[in-house]
């Protein structure tokens, strides 16, 4: 039965000041709550600083600005868009959804949005925490953090001198997320949440963030569980030295010689320059990523794919998965990729497996998908390299170490664009949130059969809730889901019929293991 908040339950008193939220459909919601000082002026490209607080009662009934990002009127043919104005640098805020402002100590879910490190917002309606809060009796937090050049641009050695006050390194996106996590731990009890039961979840770039956050020494013992949805762990993340070429290219495009000069530009100019960096860094057959996390040895010590295998992070409970055709999101509607011929795809395979193995690898992919066109082979290769195989390797390593991990694959295809998207990247999101009314403007959900859609969404959504509450995704309305083990490799397949299968990714796993063994022998 829905809780009916009383009039006093829209107000909380925090160390920073008093907040007034709003009652929305039986939940109490606080929006645009600052968790750090505005990173503007001299604080641009500086780690997040504590917010100074406020006097009186701060209104928290409306969303604040999202992080500055590229914006295209009319959206895109897959998601329809992934960020809406207003945008502003003063964006280090979060939203909280709670069934009640009380002392119930409910489990907490912190959501980190994805978006290729350049787009997205924790306050997008699609990422509303209302369904999780209402259906799971959870407290849900969605965060905004710096993205694009403001969050991921890494300093040159000369600019690094500006960090002599202890602000060494870059990766300000991670510093923002750490500040938000600390805020949650210190304040969430005032919203009815349990600071000792925090699950952090993210999708795509947000899943990379989630893993990096779990592995950060500053977050030790703050995270109990993580949900990693489609993490692109196959990304080759640069060292500081490796990032210099990209930083130099961005400075040139922006017409600046240093971060000091960039500080004199307004943020719209900085975002405009991102388009030029896309053009400079894109390669055929690879996911475009103008900005990347940097393994700087100061803020990020290892690839996030390895973070959950070491130290205190190794004991965190993990749910990880991917979609069957991740790469179709970015490439299936692009004529230059969708029209690729066998020769070009084989050449792309050779970049990973070597020229000698490339024809054999191509043939193996072709056999796995009867009637496959060269473009299908390319999509499956990119999906495996960037998403599926790195996730499987993480599951294998955790299982071998006796660490808890559950694995899934999302298989339900989108009927949009004559079915060319398949089970594309991001398609599992509305199912996990079970909030299709918020995704009405997303082309990739058009045409889904309502009964199948709603049944699968119920199953996934309840599994995510069960995992947040207990560390085990099982619930009565689904087949039994066993942890991933080195003997069974159990993987839950989310499709029109939900099924637990052993070694669902076995073909890809054996293909990549065998080809890479031959390459290194």
The residues assigned a catalytic role are: 204, 326, 425
What is the C-alpha separation between 99 and 49, in angstroms, rounded?
A: 30
Name 193's bridge partners.
Answer: 106
Rounded CA-CA distance 409/234 in Å is: 17
- Cβ atoms within 10 Å, residue 157: 9
DSSP string, 340-368: --HHHHHHHHHHHH-TTTHHHHHHHHHHH
In SS3 terms, 251-305 reads as: HHHHCCCCHHHHCCCCHHHHHHHHHHHHHHHCCCCCCCCCCCCCCCCCCCCCCHH
Q: How far apart are CA 217 and CA 198, in angstroms?
A: 16
Contacts (Cβ under 8 Å, ≥6 apart) of 270? 68, 148, 149, 150, 254, 262
DSSP 491: E
CA distances from 275 to 44, 147, 312, 457 (A): 21, 14, 39, 36
Backbone angles phi, psi at 501, to 5 degrees: -125, 150
Question: 260 is written with which tokens?
Answer: 């000091």
Selection from 387, 493, 503, 432 nearest residue 199 by Cα: 432
Name 409's bridge partners. 322, 493
Both tokens assigned to 83: 């960020």
Report the DSSP pairing between strands 57-59 and 17-20: parallel
């Amino acid at each position: 039965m829905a809780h009916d908040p009383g009039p006093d339950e829209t107000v909380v008193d925090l160390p920073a000041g008093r907040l007034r939220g709003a009652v929305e459909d039986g939940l109490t919601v606080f929006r645009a709550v600052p968790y750090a000082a505005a990173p503007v002026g001299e604080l641009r490209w500086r780690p997040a600083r504590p917010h100074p607080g406020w006097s009186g009662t701060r209104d928290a009934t409306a969303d604040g600005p999202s992080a500055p990002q590229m914006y295209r009127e009319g959206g895109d043919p897959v998601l329809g868009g992934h960020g809406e104005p207003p945008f502003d640098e003063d964006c280090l805020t979060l939203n909280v959804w709670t069934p009640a402002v009380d002392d119930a100590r409910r489990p907490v879910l912190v959501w980190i949005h994805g978006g290729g490190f350049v787009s997205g917002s924790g306050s997008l309606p699609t990422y509303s925490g209302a369904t999780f809060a209402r259906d799971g009796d959870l407290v849900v937090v969605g965060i905004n953090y710096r993205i694009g050049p403001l969050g991921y641009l890494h300093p040159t050695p000369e600019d690094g001198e500006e960090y002599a006050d202890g602000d060494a390194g870059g990766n300000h996106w991670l510093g923002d997320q750490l500040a938000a996590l600390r805020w949650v731990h210190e304040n969430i009890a005032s919203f009815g949440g349990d600071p000792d039961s925090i699950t952090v979840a993210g999708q795509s770039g947000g899943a990379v963030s989630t893993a990096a956050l779990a592995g950060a020494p500053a977050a030790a013992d703050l995270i109990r569980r993580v949900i990693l949805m489609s993490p692109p762990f196959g990304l080759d993340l640069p060292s500081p030295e490796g990032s210099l070429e990209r930083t130099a290219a961005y400075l040139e495009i922006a017409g600046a010689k240093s971060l000091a000069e960039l500080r004199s530009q307004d943020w719209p100019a900085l975002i405009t320059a991102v388009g030029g960096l896309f053009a400079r860094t894109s390669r055929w057959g690879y996911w475009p990523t103008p900005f990347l996390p940097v393994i700087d040895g100061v803020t990020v010590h290892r690839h996030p794919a390895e973070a959950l295998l070491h130290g205190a992070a190794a004991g965190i409970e993990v749910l990880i998965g991917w979609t069957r055709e991740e790469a179709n999101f970015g490439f299936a509607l692009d004529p230059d990729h969708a029209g690729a011929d066998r020769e070009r795809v084989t050449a792309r395979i050779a970049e990973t497996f070597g020229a000698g193995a490339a024809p054999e690898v191509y043939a193996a992919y072709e056999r796995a998908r009867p009637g496959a066109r060269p473009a299908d082979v390319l999509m499956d290769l990119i999906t495996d390299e960037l998403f599926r195989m790195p996730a499987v390797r993480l599951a294998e390593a955790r299982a071998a170490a006796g660490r808890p991990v559950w694995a899934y694959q999302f298989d339900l295809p989108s009927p949009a664009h004559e079915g060319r998207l398949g089970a594309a990247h991001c398609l599992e999101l509305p199912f996990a949130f079970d909030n299709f009314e918020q995704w009405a403007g997303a082309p990739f959900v058009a045409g889904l059969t309502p009964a199948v859609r709603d049944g699968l969404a119920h199953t996934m959504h309840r599994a995510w809730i069960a995992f947040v509450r207990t560390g085990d995704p099982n619930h009565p309305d689904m087949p039994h889901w066993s942890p991933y083990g080195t003997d069974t490799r159990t993987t839950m397949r989310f499709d029109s019929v939900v099924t637990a299968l052993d070694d669902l990714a076995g073909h890809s796993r054996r293909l990549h293991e065998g080809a890479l063994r031959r390459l290194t022998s």
